[in-house]
Amino acid sequence: MRAAVVNTPEATPVCADFPDPEQRPGRAPLRLVGAGLHHVVRGLAAGRHYGSDRRYPLVPGVDAVARTGDGRLVYTGFARSPWGTMAEWLVTPFEVELPDGADPLAVAAGINPALSGWMPLTARRAEAGELGTVLVLGATGISGGLAVRAALSLGAKQVVAAGRDREALERLQGPGVVTVALAQEAPDAWAGALGAAVAAAPPALVLDYVWGPVAEAAFAALGRSGADDDSVAVDYVQIGSLAGTEAVLPAALLRSRRIRVSGSGTGSVSKDQMIAELPAVLARFAAGTFDAPYTAYPLSRVGEAWSHQGRSRAVVVPD
């Protein structure tokens, strides 16, 4: 079959012949409709992501929309290495049918980033009974923007959306959303900007898509002098690391308030948990509550897709 093939770490994929995927009992092959080129896909292909087995050559891709032999459109993923989803044929352990009205390529572009926020949001709501105020760090990316919409959809009292792209922040403005612009030229001011927002609307849940110095500014904003026990309990969930892979966590913050720091991703969230949430997320794509801008590239131009930048997500489709 034809597929995107990565031959060495850091190499740009090329369109080439690759062995057909191994068959699974009771699982018929699926034909590719579209596979999103997510940050995790690049990280896995380059061996930088913790989930990579660093065996080459490989086919990249973690999820896709595909067509079954009887013509149904399904969302699927978790193909067995070295087969990913950027190939003409897929053999995967699950499939969830797309509801009527869902744009299959928007689903391919958006389900992975949408789940990144959806999972900790639903976990917090199940545990606490409500979401309260949600702070999203890195709200101007595709994942962060979907997290803002997911929080509102799941009943958040208010969402504080923080990011450095002012144009993207303007698009997020609306009922229930407060935006915080983090000036790109003044990172020393981030803690002050976040501190003012936190003081006005103390968050019960923080979704951090950026980490690094932005996380450190958030820690400073969440810190406080004095010690009392009437502050809002905070769940701080680390999801992405676009601003840096390391952040200094002050000891005083952990001792001075009720805060729990955790992560959300493959490994800390089970595959079964993610699959169970897919119908609810897909329904929101069909209803227009969620959307994801995309740019489609045929398999033969996967190298161009790999270098794609901008506000849309690259989606690899058959030629």
Instruction: Give residue limits of the domains in the chain.
Output: 2-97+290-317, 113-263
What pLDDT was estimated at residue 49? 86
Measured over all CA atoms, what is the biggest interatomic distance in the chain, rounded to whole angstroms? Answer: 65
What pLDDT was estimated at residue 54? 85
Cα 273 from Cα 287, distance rounded (Å)? 23
Identify residue 106 by its one-letter amino acid code: A
Q: Across the chain, what does the average pLDDT equal?
A: 94
Query: Six-digit token pair at 150?
Result: 């997911």
What pLDDT was estimated at residue 188? 85
SS3 275: helix
List, as one string, the DSSP characters of 70-81.
Answer: TS-EEEEE-PPT
Judge contact between 153 and 240, C-beta under 8 A: no
297, HSE (Cβ side, Cα atoms, 13 Å): 27
15-66 confidence digits (pLDDT tens): 999 999 998 888 999 999 999 999 999 999 998 888 888 899 999 999 999 9
208-236 confidence digits (pLDDT tens): 999 999 999 999 999 864 456 567 889 99
Phi-psi region for residue 206, left (φ > 0), alpha (ψ -120 to 50) or beta? beta
Cα 5 from Cα 237, distance rounded (Å)? 34
Query: Which residue's entry shows tokens 């001075």?
Result: 256
Q: Which residues of the chain have pLDDT under 50?
A: 225-226
**Do 2-97+290-317 and 113-263 have matching folds?**
no
Distances (CA, A) of 7 to 122, 245, 304: 38, 26, 17
Cα 114 from Cα 278, distance rounded (Å)? 10
Cα 44 from Cα 230, distance rounded (Å)? 43
The CATH class, in words, for 113-263 is alpha beta
Picking from 22, 24, 33, 25, the residue whose alpha carbon sits closest to that of residue 87 is 33
**CATH of the domain spanning 2-97+290-317:** 3.90.180.10
What pLDDT was estimated at residue 101? 95
What pLDDT was estimated at residue 230? 60
Number of helices and strands in the chain (H, E): 9, 15
Distance, CA of 169 to chain centre: 18
Picking from 255, 319, 231, 306, the residue whose alpha carbon sits closest to that of residue 12 is 306
Query: Six-digit token pair at 62?
Result: 């973690």
What pLDDT was estimated at residue 229? 59
Model pTM above 0.75: yes
Judge contact between 64 and 108, C-beta under 8 A: yes
